[in-house]
Amino acid sequence: MKNTLILYSSVDGHTLKICDTIARHLEQQGHRAHLIAIEQATTEMLIQYGKIVIGASIRYGKHRKNLIEFIRSNKAILDDKTCCFFSVNLVARKADKNTPETNPYLQKLLQKLDWQPSLLSVFAGKVDYQKYAFFDRIMIQLIMWMTKGPTDINSVIDYTDWQAVGTFSQQIAEH
């Protein structure tokens, strides 16, 4: 039985939901999966696991600072393990930006950190205007208007391809 650590960096909880789904898939494949927020992970914890999965969301075109700091601080350990990474962002709802090779946010992060995980994926996120704070709602609405996405404040649209999440989970299990 393999032990897998799943770390998440999430703003509104959707990345956590994807990580939880991956954990359940891995457990069905006979893996032990431990799910924890990235800010709670320690170096000692990383050393205990043979496989590490990191899921991170984008807000305003950037991954969160806690993710960048975590990877920089632990890069040597991550490079020595089977490390899988996925990014969650709304631009991935577009067919020409929904792969690791074509997603600009993922590519920018990997170049910035000079990092190459064993396995990569990108998932489209979720729009839920009512869940956002006022400023976030207005900013996301503006971004969606500029990118021809939904702007109705009553919109709740989950763009995540859950079958792709299942496929990625299987790939993680086989790695």
Q: pLDDT (tens digit, 0 to 9) for every residue of the chain, 175 residues total? A: 579 999 999 988 999 999 999 999 999 988 999 999 999 999 989 999 989 999 999 988 889 999 999 999 999 999 999 999 999 998 889 889 999 999 999 999 999 998 999 999 999 999 888 888 888 888 888 888 888 888 888 888 899 999 999 999 999 998 8
Q: Residue 105 class from Cβ within 10 Å (0-12 exposed, 13-18 middle, 19+ buried)? A: buried
For residue 42, give both structure tokens.
């320690």
For the whole prediction, is pTM greater than 0.75?
Answer: yes
For residue 144, give both structure tokens.
């969606």
- The rounded Cα 71 to chain-centroid distance in angstroms is 13
Assess contact for 53 and 19: CB atoms under 8 A.
Answer: yes
Helices and strands in the chain: count of H runs, count of E runs: 6, 8
Neighbours of 29 (CB within 10 A): 16
Give the separation between CA 1 and CA 63, rounded to whole angstroms: 32
For residue 149, give both structure tokens.
């996405």
Bridge-based pairing of strands 82-88 and 62-63 is unpaired
| CA distances to 24, 115, 118, 140, 165 from 51, in Å | 15, 16, 10, 34, 17
